[in-house]
Structure 1
Amino acid sequence: MAGTDGFTDFFYLSKDGLRLHARVYGDGDHARTPAVCLPGLTRNVRDFHELALFLSTHPETPRRVIAFDYRGRGASAYDPNWKNYNIVTEAEDILAGIDALGISEAAFIGTSRGGLIIHMLAAMRLSVLKASVFNDIGPVVEAVGLAHIRSYLENASPAATFAQAEQAQRAIHGADFPALSDQDWARMVKAIYRDENGRPVADYDPALVNTVIALDLRQSLPALWERFEALRAVPVMVIRGENTRLLSTGTVAEMEQRHSGMEVITIAGQGHPPMLETGDLPERIARFLAKLDKSPSL
């Protein structure tokens, strides 16, 4: 049963022995496909809290929702070897987690890095993917977007208060997110930072930044079209921020050509990545997932 906050904490071991964390929201109807939420590079389960609550308590289609903390993020253990912070290892960790939860198939909602992990899962265990929602990510990652991410991670300064942390996030991302309200910014900051005696601390292993510093942005990252095409028979939704630097309109157009029936949503006034709890996105995601549900037994 979910706790008073709408979720229960679930811990499990990776194949190399790290203690990893997930949140499990709701019990749902087991005839309905569970949803698995995968966050961005430095992000954690709190990014999905409002969406997970909405989906798990939906009046018509409540379902179980599982949000994962990758190794080195949130409540998961840090890895002593930062080179293990890679999408292949993290995909293996997700498979270990869903196996521990007894999940054979699910709808996956992947924000940024989470979407890259979905591509890995398509190669590792396609059968687990009942549907895929890509939040501002596709088979081609734009170098200009990666350069922006590397710049603000490398130059991040500690904040003494949550108000200062919010000011910093607005300074970095404000031009890309004019649609966000004060409440949205406050919620974003609470998701990014953990509270240590009133002081905000970025909730990830600082060594994780090494993975971005190590990238040679003079060369394009390998495209993942072959793995994306493995999803031809899997329902796909793509959510793109109007002001994103990571997912180009050209890549989205190519995705539509290669995947007949793909649903595309562009979010006005937001950049990378759109906040999934804003506007009508929760209900649109709920309707997309509802198409997957098994007919109730008669």
Structure 2
Amino acid sequence: MPSFHNGAVEIAYLDEGEGDPIVLVHGFASSKNVNWVYPTWVSELKKHNRRVIALDNRGHGDSSKLYDSEQYSIGAMAADVRALLAHLGIVRTDMMGYSMGARVTAYIAYSHPELIRSAIFGGLGIGLIKGGGPGENVALALEADSLDDVTDPVGRTFRAFADQTRSDRRALAACLRGSRRLMTNEEAAAIKVPLLIAVGTTDEISGSAQELQKVIAGSEVLDIPNRDHMRAVGDRVYKEGVLDFLSRRP
């Protein structure tokens, strides 16, 4: 698997297929494989003549593990993505992020819109501004000696997932504490790139897609029926909606 360095941080990535590029940014406690390869996003996009680039965010997958929460700001992770684009010589790209990855995508769409041809926020609605999702309860669950010591139900879910994926739990706890920056209403409203907001209809983590649509003028909403935050990732409606959106973007 190829990798490159953004300063002292090594970032692992994949780069497959030919055609217009799309960059995929995974969610918290996931990885490029868990979020994009195993649910067949990479193969599906390649079938539709796309060059697919997906990275492991710092602290995740095969990328560098860091233990200082200040090294996990959304801005720092967005800088890793921009460095990857520069490393690959990509001037402009479509970009899809899921959950935390959608926060990273939103940050780039706001601060460096010249890099973004279109954006997809998967698993993130008004939570971009109002917050929600895993908090200190999850960080403490990740740091617990054993899953048996975790009583918080949300913490148990994330801890079990981290154990299943054999993640570095200390790095994930630091990431969670460092990546909680929310966008202001004004920052989100300043996003002008073509945007699709895709959220499961039973997702209690992302916040309302329709409420975020009211903030970001011209954005579109894709409801993923009967899917929660975890199960929406590989859903067929999600994939078909994204492919349709990409086929229509300028």
TM-score by length of 1: 0.69
| 1:112-148 C-alpha deviation (Å, 9 max, x unpaired) | 11111122213431101111110121432434x334x
Per the alignment, residue 134 of structure 2 pairs with: 146
**Larger-gyration structure (1/2):** 1
Per the alignment, residue 54 of structure 2 pairs with: 67
Stretches of structure 1 lacking an aligned partner (at least 5 in a row): 1-8, 160-167, 174-188, 195-199, 294-298
Structure 1 residue 13 corresponds to structure 2 residue 5? yes
Given the superposition, is the C-alpha separation of residues 115 and 54 from structure 1 closer, same or farther in structure 2, using an over 3 Å criterion? same
Q: Specify the code of the residue in structure 2 equivalent to 1:271.
A: D
Calculate the aligned-residue CA RMSD, in Å: 2.9
Given the superposition, is the C-alpha separation of residues 153 and 40 from structure 1 closer, same or farther in structure 2, using an over 3 Å criterion? same
In the TM superposition, what is the alpha-carbon distance from 1:267 to its structure 2 partner? 1.9
In the TM superposition, what is the alpha-carbon distance from 1:257 to its structure 2 partner? 2.5
In the TM superposition, what is the alpha-carbon distance from 1:43 to its structure 2 partner? 1.3
In the TM superposition, what is the alpha-carbon distance from 1:273 to its structure 2 partner? 4.4
| 1:62-106 C-alpha deviation (Å, 9 max, x unpaired) | 110111111111011112534202211111111001110111111
SS in 2 for 1:92: helix
Give the Cα separation in 2 of the matches to 1:102 and 1:202: 33
After superposition, residues 1-298 of structure 1 pair within 5 angstroms as 9-14=1-6, 16-26=7-17, 28-29=18-19, 32=20, 34-46=21-33, 47-49=35-37, 50-58=40-48, 62-79=49-66, 81-138=68-125, 139-143=128-132, 145-147=133-135, 150-156=136-142, 172=157, 200-212=164-176, 222-232=182-192, 234-249=193-208, 252-292=209-249
In the TM superposition, what is the alpha-carbon distance from 1:215 to its structure 2 partner? 9.1
| 1:223-249 C-alpha deviation (Å, 9 max, x unpaired) | 4333322322x1111111222223333
Q: Residues 65 and 171 of structure 2 are in contact (CA less than 8 Å); yes or no, is this contact kept in structure 1?
A: no
Give the Cα separation in 2 of the matches to 1:215 and 1:93: 14
Q: Residues 122 and 228 of structure 1 are in contact (CA less than 8 Å); yes or no, is this contact kept in structure 2?
A: no
SS in 2 for 1:76: coil
Give the Cα separation in 1 of the matches to 2:36 and 2:146: 24
Give the Cα separation in 2 of the matches to 1:80 and 1:223: 24
In the TM superposition, what is the alpha-carbon distance from 1:41 to its structure 2 partner? 1.7
Q: Residues 222 and 241 of structure 2 are in contact (CA less than 8 Å); yes or no, is this contact kept in structure 1?
A: no
Q: Residues 122 and 230 of structure 1 are in contact (CA less than 8 Å); yes or no, is this contact kept in structure 2?
A: no
| 1:248-294 C-alpha deviation (Å, 9 max, x unpaired) | 33xx334323334422122233222453322232222112112237x
SS in 2 for 1:67: strand
Q: Residues 122 and 197 of structure 2 are in contact (CA less than 8 Å); yes or no, is this contact kept in structure 1?
A: yes
Stretches of structure 2 lacking an aligned partner (at least 5 in a row): 148-152
Given the superposition, is the C-alpha separation of residues 116 and 214 from structure 1 closer, same or farther in structure 2, using an over 3 Å criterion? closer
Percent identity between the aligned chains?
20
Q: Specify the code of the residue in structure 1 equivalent to 2:32.
A: V
Q: Which has the larger displacement, 95-104 or 267-276?
A: 267-276
SS in 2 for 1:122: helix
Q: Residues 71 and 178 of structure 2 are in contact (CA less than 8 Å); yes or no, is this contact kept in structure 1?
A: no
Q: Residues 267 and 274 of structure 1 are in contact (CA less than 8 Å); yes or no, is this contact kept in structure 2?
A: no
Moved over 6 A (4+): none
Q: Specify the code of the residue in structure 2 equivalent to 1:172.
A: T
Give the Cα separation in 2 of the matches to 1:105 and 1:40: 22
